């Protein structure tokens, strides 16, 4: 089997992959075709089905595992699989084929706990510990991307990697600027994306849940935090919620900690996605 990372132009493809996206489209002449995104733990690639569209369309759905035979060509500057034959692969587990991060998840988990352990404020420490003691939430951090399949850290475990990245940036900034409230900033960073665990389904497609589509991860995260933050002083709880609420909206940040969290979130996302030069 050829992994997606190994694919090269003018190479034959034969293997089992998951369907991360499936769309039925039409050519300019009105002929139907299927636009697919095939994924495996090594990456993702676009694919097209031009022939026997009606027959093949009924054989699989988005999120299924499929066995593919085709050839890699270059289109629009990107590699693309031209599918010659395709069938469902019912014995394969599609979730295990979701693109995965390259960093060690156990190491990131350990650093997540280290960062949480630096929070001295009893109420904030208890709140964060409650999230980290939630087995389902911890599993979701390893299984979900940070912002969907097409966003930054768009692979299984990206949510864990991004959470650690943002929190590390916030921790370092608080050390550089002692005027910042370290515990509030680090706690906000650790929980700023907990709403993703309710917004997204597991791979390979990482679809939005219905609740996620309608409410979004920020609202869902605020709701989770409010449910667990009853022991916090009301003023501190409001500041924590404000920082999380504004981590995608620079103009709405009213505190230094909220502003730092916004910029740390943006920096980690940009560093993970913007192209870099060679050499």
Radius of gyration of the chain (CA): 21
- Residue 278: the pLDDT is 59
**Inter-residue contact 128 to 104 (CB < 8 Å):** no
How confident is the prediction along the chain (279 residues), in pLDDT tens digits per residue? 778 999 999 999 999 999 999 999 999 999 999 999 999 998 899 999 999 999 999 999 999 999 999 999 998 889 999 999 999 999 999 988 888 888 999 999 999 999 999 999 999 999 999 999 999 999 999 999 998 878 899 899 999 999 999 999 999 999 999 999 999 999 999 999 999 999 999 888 899 999 999 999 999 999 999 999 988 999 999 999 999 999 999 999 999 999 999 999 999 999 988 776 655
CATH level 3 topology of 101-273: Hypothetical protein af1432 (1.10.3210)
The pLDDT score that the predictor gives to residue 210 is: 96
Q: Write down the pTM of the prediction.
A: 0.86
**pLDDT at position 107, please?**
96
pLDDT of residue 205: 86
CATH no. for 4-96: 2.40.50.140
Q: What is the pLDDT of residue 274?
A: 77
Give the pLDDT of residue 70.
Answer: 94
Count of H-run helices and E-run strands, the chain:
10, 5
Per domain, the residue ranges of the chain are: 4-96, 101-273
The answer to whether 183 and 171 have CB atoms below 8 angstroms apart is no
Contacts of 274 (CB under 8 A, 6+ apart): none
Q: Within the chain, where are the H helices?
A: 53-57, 105-117, 122-132, 135-143, 158-176, 182-191, 196-199, 210-228, 234-245, 256-273
* Predicted pLDDT at 277: 65
Contacts 24+ apart (CB under 8 A), 175-184: 179/256, 180/256, 180/257, 180/260, 181/257, 182/118, 183/119, 183/120, 183/121, 183/124, 183/125, 184/121, 184/124, 184/236, 184/239, 184/240, 184/243, 184/257
């Amino acid at each position: 089997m050829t992994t997606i990372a190994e694919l090269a132009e003018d190479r034959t493809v034969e293997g089992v992959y998951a369907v991360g996206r499936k769309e039925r489209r039409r050519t300019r002449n009105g002929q139907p075709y299927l636009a697919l995104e095939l994924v495996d733990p090594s990456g993702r690639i676009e694919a097209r089905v031009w022939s026997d569209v009606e027959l093949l369309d009924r054989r699989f759905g988005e999120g299924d595992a499929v066995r593919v035979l085709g050839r890699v060509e270059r289109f629009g500057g990107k590699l693309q699989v031209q599918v010659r034959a395709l069938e469902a692969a019912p014995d394969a587990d599609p979730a295990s084929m979701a693109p995965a991060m390259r960093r060690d998840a156990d190491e990131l988990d350990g650093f997540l706990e280290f960062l949480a352990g630096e929070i001295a404020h009893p109420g904030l420490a208890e709140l964060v510990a409650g999230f980290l003691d939630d087995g389902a939430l911890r599993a979701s951090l390893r299984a979900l991307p940070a912002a969907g399949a097409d966003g930054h850290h768009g692979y299984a475990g990206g949510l864990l990697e991004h959470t650690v990245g943002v929190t590390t940036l916030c921790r370092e900034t608080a050390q550089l600027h002692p005027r910042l409230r370290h515990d509030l900033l680090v706690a906000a960073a650790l929980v700023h994306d907990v709403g993703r665990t309710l917004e997204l389904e597991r791979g390979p497609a990482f679809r939005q849940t219905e609740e996620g589509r309608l409410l979004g991860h920020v609202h869902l995260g605020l709701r989770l935090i409010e449910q667990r933050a009853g022991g916090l002083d009301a003023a501190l709880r409001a500041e924590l919620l404000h920082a999380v609420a504004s981590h995608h909206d620079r103009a709405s940040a009213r505190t230094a900690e909220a502003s730092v969290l916004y910029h740390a979130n943006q920096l980690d996302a940009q560093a993970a996605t913007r192209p870099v030069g060679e050499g």
